[in-house]
Chains A and B, each alone.
Chain A
Amino acid sequence: MITEKMRTAAKDLLEKGEVTTVIGWEKGTFWYNSTPVFISKPEEVDRLVFDEFCANNLAKYLMDYRNAEGKTAVFVKGCDARGVNRLVQDYQVNRDKVFLIGIPCSGMKEAPKTAEKQDSSKLPLLKKCQECATPNPVVYDLLLGDPVSERQVPDRFSGVEAIEGKTADEKYAYWQSMHSQCIRCYACRNACPACNCRECCFDANGLNWLGKQNNVQENQMFAMTRAMHVAGRCIECGECERVCPMGLPIMEINRKILKDINELFGPQDAGMSLEDKPALGQFKLDDPEKFM
């Protein structure tokens, strides 16, 4: 039903020439994949679909179209909409050149372990969708379907608190065991709407910000640097964790920073509106003074 509305809306926009490209999802190789698709001809709109496997956050793809002529339309779920706000706030994308088609989302499902039965009803929700507090797009130009009701979500900081309760040596051992698995594919960075630098410091060879060898220390440096770079700007879409081929708990680091920001500088939710500036891009004269 949403799929039909998507196709109609996309066809309308392309035929009227309001947009030059529509970014959406199409059916992938398997019944449990839906992959991003970029449509510029009205006759191709039938490729568009929306089902319970459209997990990709499409906001990041706007980076590839920011210098394109005309407008780009993009379908946004709750998390994608916050990602668009992130990019607009970081001056990466011009809001006037983007047409947002909102889709309320009731959660995406995990790919099955075995591909035998084509039954998606029994599959569990993705971890990022179980924890999602914004199923409805926070910003859109056109909304398809009715807003879904907010889900009961587990306490988002419970995982962080569990790690905080450990001793220093246990914490260190835990993160060493995690970061020793990292293969530094940078998938987390590539999927992240907050990682939108034109040249990433990890790609800059000459400056040697990060050694090229894959060892625990460098992996740890990568993880901590990325956490500090997205500090106060992370929109909690959980894409980093979803795309991680090693299944590392990346959001446990991002949420730790978010928890500290909430404790130290007051409640912050990045990407909910364009007015809220990132926590590390502003200050108050009466911020907590722990250093003296």
Chain B
Amino acid sequence: MSLNSEALPKSQEVTAAPEASNQPWEPKIVGFACNWCTYAGADLAGLSRLQYPPSIRLIRVPCSGRTNPQFIIRAFQRGADGVLVAGCHPGDCHYSTGNYFTRRRFLLMQRLLEYMGIDPARFQARWISGSEGPKFQQVVTQMTEDIKALGPNRKMRDVE
């Protein structure tokens, strides 16, 4: 597990930044990207020189089904303002069925987070294929805007 405090910078840097400089606050989004689709899609977005906010930090996983619910809770604990899980479209999974399990698991997870008081906009799952560079750009832009509107996440944080 590389999701330790080194991988995710501490929240002071996020929150202290606006006072220290006049830079507007930028959200931190942790993105779990499937190796076969979304990671390639993100690569395509980069190759095509598509501009998207630098708020997302991608973590490559072999399949969106690899993303453990604990990864998401830990990301929020360690200072993420939003978490994105992205993988192949249903039917396109490299391992045939991984993303169908992802879909069930994270439908429940999102509702559980909402039940615990976390805004569901902070946790999203999306299907982005290897050819959908523009979709990756659009998803990251949209999510950054949504989370900017919500402001920094203070809930479930372990680091202050």
Of A174, A224, A260, A285, the contact of B73 (CB 8 Å cutoff): A224
Min C-beta distance of B11 to chain A, whole Å: 12
Stretch at the interface among A52-60, A116-124, A140-148, A164-172: A164-172
Of B108, B115, B127, the contact of A264 (CB 8 Å cutoff): B108
The answer to whether A231 touches B119, judged by C-beta atoms less than 8 angstroms apart, is no
Knowing A224-B69, A283-B97, A283-B104, the reply to whether A169 touches B90 (Cβ < 8 A) is: no
The answer to whether A291 touches B124, judged by C-beta atoms less than 8 angstroms apart, is yes
Chain B interface size range? 35 or more
| A231 and B155 alpha carbons, distance in the complex (Å) | 23
Q: Does A88 contact B (CB under 8 A)?
A: no
Chain B 90-128, CB-CB to A under 8 Å as 1, else 0, gives: 110000010011011111111110111111000011110
Main secondary structure of the interface of A (DSSP, over half): helix
The answer to whether B108 touches A228, judged by C-beta atoms less than 8 angstroms apart, is yes
Knowing A217-B77, A221-B70, A221-B73, the reply to whether A231 touches B108 (Cβ < 8 A) is: yes
| A163 and B114 alpha carbons, distance in the complex (Å) | 11
* Closest chain A residue, CB of each to CB of B73: A221
Q: Does A199 contact B (CB under 8 A)?
A: no
Q: Does A208 contact B (CB under 8 A)?
A: yes
The answer to whether A287 touches B1, judged by C-beta atoms less than 8 angstroms apart, is no
The answer to whether A168 touches B100, judged by C-beta atoms less than 8 angstroms apart, is no
Of A171, A201, A227, A291, the contact of B103 (CB 8 Å cutoff): A291
Q: Does A65 contact B (CB under 8 A)?
A: no
Of B108, B124, B155, the contact of A260 (CB 8 Å cutoff): B108
Chain A residues within 8 Å of B109, by CB: 228
Q: Does B57 contact A (CB under 8 A)?
A: no
CB proximity to A under 8 Å, residues B107-154: 107-112, 114-119, 124-127
Chain B residues within 8 Å of A201, by CB: 70
A-B contact pairs, 5 of them (CB 8 A): A209-B1, A225-B70, A261-B108, A264-B108, A291-B126
Interface residues of B, Cβ cutoff 8 Å to A: 1, 4, 69-70, 73-74, 77, 90-91, 97, 100-101, 103-112, 114-119, 124-127, 155-158
Further 11 A-B residue pairs, CB within 8 A, beyond A217-B77, A285-B100: A172-B155, A209-B1, A220-B156, A224-B69, A228-B112, A231-B108, A264-B104, A285-B91, A287-B100, A287-B103, A291-B124
